[in-house]
Amino acid sequence: MTETKAVKSEQTRALIVQTALRLFRERGYEATTMRAIAKEAGVSVGNAYYYYGSKEELIQAYYDELQDEHLAACRAVLDAETEFAPRLLGVLKARVDTMVPYHEFAGKFFKFAAEPTSPLNPFSAESGPARDSAVAIYREVVEGSDLKIDKEFRKELPELLWIYSMGIVLYWVHDSSPGCRKTYLLVERTVPLVNRMVSMSRLPGFKSVTRELVGIIREVRA
């Protein structure tokens, strides 16, 4: 009975999230209420609030779901490749692959997520778990590769790669090309540049610059 109840509970949670995302796409984030979500999902308002205390919590659940999809989509390349550039390329392409179905929604939703004080902002405290999961993927990109770089720079590189990926996401939001073709092109053209810059960091003339960069990152983070 307990296992059956747990399964039903997860099904209800998933139904509420999927219903919310559909209504956000159709009506807009601001115009969609928790009451409307509950009605469309066929649950009571109280039940909807039992699972998710606000629309913001629903978006955080969407972030988590998208992150899980991304991890699953890039598993094959992370398990098979050891070279840094192909690993990064595969992970970024998988990121775009998992986002494409939500492209229309992202365009309408972006103004809320871009607000610096919004809990929906990718840099907010509320988005911390999803952000940490994303950085962990780029940490795996680095740690599972044959990359030979300064150990201090190596520690900071995953977060820098995540910030780079956020730039890709920002471009994707505004990409109106068929199938987001230009976003894929941006990934394909910039990954070799990133690979070269990272590889150059171990050269004698660039080591001091790399260490200064690491110092700046840590000072800003503190």
Same domain, 64 and 149: yes
Q: What DSSP string runs through the chain?
A: -HHHHHHHHHHHHHHHHHHHHHHHHHH-TTT--HHHHHHHHTS-HHHHHHH-SSHHHHHHHHHHHHHHHHHHHHHHHHHH--SHHHHHHHHHHHHHHHHGGGHHHHHHHHHHHT-TT-TTSTTSSTTHHHHHHHHHHHHHHHHTS-----HHHHHHHHHHHHHHHHHHHHHHHT--SGGGHHHHHHHHHHHHHHHHHHHHTTSHHHHHHHHHHHHHHHHHH-
| pLDDT tens-digit readout, 156-189 | 999 999 999 999 999 999 999 999 999 999 999 9
- Structural domain including 42 reads 1-53
Same domain, 106 and 194: yes
Same domain, 42 and 123: no
Same domain, 92 and 186: yes
Same domain, 145 and 215: yes
Mean residue pLDDT of the chain comes to: 89
Report the CATH number that the domain containing residue 193 is assigned in CATH: 1.10.357.10
Same domain, 47 and 72: no
| pLDDT tens-digit readout, 27-74 | 888 888 999 999 999 999 999 999 999 888 888 888 888 889 999 999
pLDDT of residue 7 exceeding 80? no
Same domain, 75 and 49: no
Same domain, 211 and 113: yes
Same domain, 38 and 118: no
Report the CATH number that the domain containing residue 12 is assigned in CATH: 1.10.10.60
Instruction: Choose from 4-8, 47-51, 207-211 the range with maximum mean pLDDT.
Output: 47-51
Same domain, 38 and 148: no
Same domain, 82 and 182: yes
Instruction: Choose from 152-161, 183-192, 193-202, 203-212 the range with maximum mean pLDDT.
Output: 183-192
Overall number of domains in the chain: 2
